[in-house]
Structure 1
């Protein structure tokens, strides 16, 4: 993956599992603690006819017509684009990727491909060219089968009807599973898909030669079934510390009545789960912002197990996103810059023509006219005196969340009366205004924190007021 090693956490929610009938796919992009992102809108027809990856040097001819889509690329394209997430004009959402691992036995027969299609290019060469989530799965699968991939990854797709999770298991082989409408899934750096039903085309897609490949090389430890995770994946001690606790957390949050026998290091956690209650956009945000709060494993705590497991939200999160589909108004690309637990998810409507200037900026060294750095600035100030400052941050987050719901409701109410350019202009203005107000709230918070910090200096002494 060039010079970038990502280790993300993902969530997918079906429309009957959500409180409002929406479909949600979301992910934390975790790589480096100071590695800026920005947000762009690619216009219809903007993409070139030929693509060359700066990461792997893979060359592809692309279709002539490209759709408008949102994306969150890196601050520099030196090692590639890493566009990561977006929604296109046909209301197809895609998030790439959830890094995972394949076992040595599988890789011995189908090695990873050094100049294949990796995370860096997946959004760029797939999302502008598909009109449904299934088309997205098929296009990505066809490209990987033909050109191979240098990584083991999971990729999220959704449209206004369904959500899909796609996984590569080796250099060329892949599977994908539809998330049942009344279910959700959480994924954390492991191959997640389990039993494959090759006769159920409504719910499974796969490389056409995967069964023959597995049988030929005797890769299946249990030939009575076809468990993709067990055939292609790993199950070692690092999984128990790094990956499984994050899945366990999601099950404890959303299905506590069913997950009573699960532990943070359970090795057989199911991929598909039904929630005990309907899930909202804030449930999805709270999962991606989770750091085991309320348990002995919270890194912000002081117990002996405070740093035992890798949390979901951590310093190395560059951005966190939730793509909310099947909405009565416009679909929403929710974006939180920096550490999800210390940031705010800002709603950008699908159909916007541009993003606010601060969201298009972000470089190294830090610059405080950039959305990424405005959120990170407040975050590091809060971290300096967490006990004193975290309540102030929480107040800002609560106010902004309430304002987001109010703004979205007002937007939905107006949308039916607007068409074409007027609709796009309105969606752009609504998104811009909320994003700007949120940045201003974080700037104000940072100034308040700096003011309070002035008396924390070690060069302090109790001074007699009479002197």
Structure 2
């Protein structure tokens, strides 16, 4: 699906790199400025026996007893589901995909497979059938090795113990790397994984034939080692403008001393980094909402470099998510921001929920104001009309909702810890849904305030001389 290419930005954070011991994976899903999303909870056993893609026509027999999982599919399934992100009942999180590009030499020997397993199907055929992040990596890798893929992608996995980043580098070949517990990674539309240690099976997974494939076709430009990014990826001018600056700004945010000599257009920025302070879920969200603020490259600025690079948060973001793991069973959190991350609010949905509020399940074209997606987008568009005057009003709502989210989560955790297992789903659903509705109502209230203020901005306005 062409509108999905050249999109998305991702972050992965290990448990010892976070302030609270949680593991986080997050991503912006970027495609079109007005392309609605909605949220669903698929119940245990809800999927059928056979999957047929409306995108690539890929077909697959599915295992029985699919797990319950959250997801954020497209407003229409005419070109595929694109469920994109979620957490299942076994506390496995998955986000798919980070679009990337393979070089022509590699693709000459192992071309992409147009009717293979592509982004739109990955969540649906993998997440409901795995009980650990490693199982997710292996299932996706086995499927791509067998059926091929028509795209070059990065996929994020996490459970309550570890986070993994998976990359397909051609039609059938793939690798995956475990994010060290004390580290983080940021990725932006390039193959990111670097040196592969084929003897370290605790931290690397890979297609069993990838070494032979590379050797037989003389694909490795290095005299020694196996740098996946160099062998399979690209490093051209478009990368320097489009992708690398987003990695650079993440390093500036979280590792400023280590990254002080980096430049936005560096072609070999490290994949794995150690943060110089422990990171919170709000740090992950702030990265996904970043638009180079505080630098000459902010598109909201007026300098000559204001539009030089592609920002992380932009109008084409459909939704942004942070999947926060290693919490109480069933109380891991699917943080979801509808629309532009910088102008929206991340709403925490516990993965033990059984349903979401009706407005979060709606979203289609043309716009409908009973849809959460369009309510958040409505506020965003109005703020854009008079950014200098209206941005502070939006930021006040965002700050209040952040504090309210932490308060709600803390209160919920205390209650859940004392609840019997069979009582938890209903309570988690109630807590998540109440907060989601309150946040949506806060944006509705903001919209009314903005409209009221905008009435005096009309070009038909006239300042009457009081002496007349």
Q: Please give the TM-score of this superposition, normalised by the length of structure 2.
A: 0.99
Report the counterpart of residue 67 of structure 1 in structure 2: 67
Report the counterpart of residue 156 of structure 1 in structure 2: 156
Report the counterpart of residue 44 of structure 2 in structure 1: 44
Report the counterpart of residue 143 of structure 1 in structure 2: 143
RMSD: 0.9
Q: How many Å separate the matches in 1 of 2:462 and 2:63? A: 69
User: CA 1:351–1:328 in structure 2 vs 1: closer, same or farther (change >3 Å)?
Assistant: closer
SS of 1:192's equivalent? coil
Q: Which runs of 5+ in 1 are unaligned?
A: none
Report the counterpart of residue 389 of structure 1 in structure 2: 390
Verify: 1:219 aligned to 2:219, yes or no: yes
**How far apart are 1:4 and its partner, in Å?**
3.7
8 Å contact kept, 1:197–1:204: yes
- Give deviations 1:372-408, integer Å, cap 9, x for gaps: 0000000000000000000000000000000000000
SS of 1:455's equivalent? helix
Report the counterpart of residue 373 of structure 1 in structure 2: 374
**How many positions carry a matched residue from both structures?**
467
8 Å contact kept, 1:2–1:79: no
8 Å contact kept, 1:21–1:326: yes
- Give deviations 1:34-63, integer Å, cap 9, x for gaps: 000000000000000001000000110000
Q: How many Å separate the matches in 1 of 2:465 and 2:236? A: 62
8 Å contact kept, 1:33–1:315: yes
**How far apart are 1:417 and its partner, in Å?**
1.7
Report the counterpart of residue 402 of structure 1 in structure 2: 403
Q: How many Å separate the matches in 1 of 2:7 and 2:443? A: 27
8 Å contact kept, 1:110–1:170: yes
Report the counterpart of residue 426 of structure 2 in structure 1: 425
Q: How many Å separate the matches in 2 of 1:410 and 1:3? A: 41
Verify: 1:337 aligned to 2:305, yes or no: no
Report the counterpart of residue 458 of structure 1 in structure 2: 459
- Give deviations 1:257-315, integer Å, cap 9, x for gaps: 11111010111100000000000000000000000001110000000000000000000
8 Å contact kept, 1:358–1:370: yes
8 Å contact kept, 1:3–1:79: no
SS of 2:12's equivalent? strand
Report the counterpart of residue 104 of structure 2 in structure 1: 104
Report the counterpart of residue 198 of structure 1 in structure 2: 198
Q: How many Å separate the matches in 2 of 1:466 and 1:374? A: 44
Report the counterpart of residue 31 of structure 1 in structure 2: 31
**How far apart are 1:466 and its partner, in Å?**
6.4
Q: How many Å separate the matches in 1 of 2:80 and 2:236? A: 32
SS of 2:285's equivalent? helix
**How far apart are 1:173 and its partner, in Å?**
0.2
User: CA 1:119–1:410 in structure 2 vs 1: closer, same or farther (change >3 Å)?
Assistant: same
Report the counterpart of residue 22 of structure 2 in structure 1: 22
Q: How many Å separate the matches in 2 of 1:135 and 1:245? A: 33
SS of 2:98's equivalent? strand
Report the counterpart of residue 275 of structure 1 in structure 2: 275
Report the counterpart of residue 122 of structure 2 in structure 1: 122
- Give deviations 1:163-203, integer Å, cap 9, x for gaps: 00000000000000000000000000000000000000000
Report the counterpart of residue 54 of structure 1 in structure 2: 54
8 Å contact kept, 1:177–1:193: yes
Q: Please give the residue correspondences for 1:242-261 in structure 2 after superposition, counting only pairs within 5 Å.
A: 242-261=242-261
Q: How many Å separate the matches in 2 of 1:352 and 1:6? A: 33
8 Å contact kept, 1:2–1:55: no
Q: How many Å separate the matches in 1 of 2:239 and 2:52? A: 34
SS of 1:366's equivalent? coil
SS of 2:429's equivalent? helix
**How far apart are 1:465 and its partner, in Å?**
4.2
SS of 1:156's equivalent? strand
Q: Which runs of 5+ in 2 are unaligned?
A: none
Q: How many Å separate the matches in 2 of 1:293 and 1:402? A: 22
Report the counterpart of residue 81 of structure 1 in structure 2: 81
Q: How many Å separate the matches in 2 of 1:310 and 1:6? A: 11
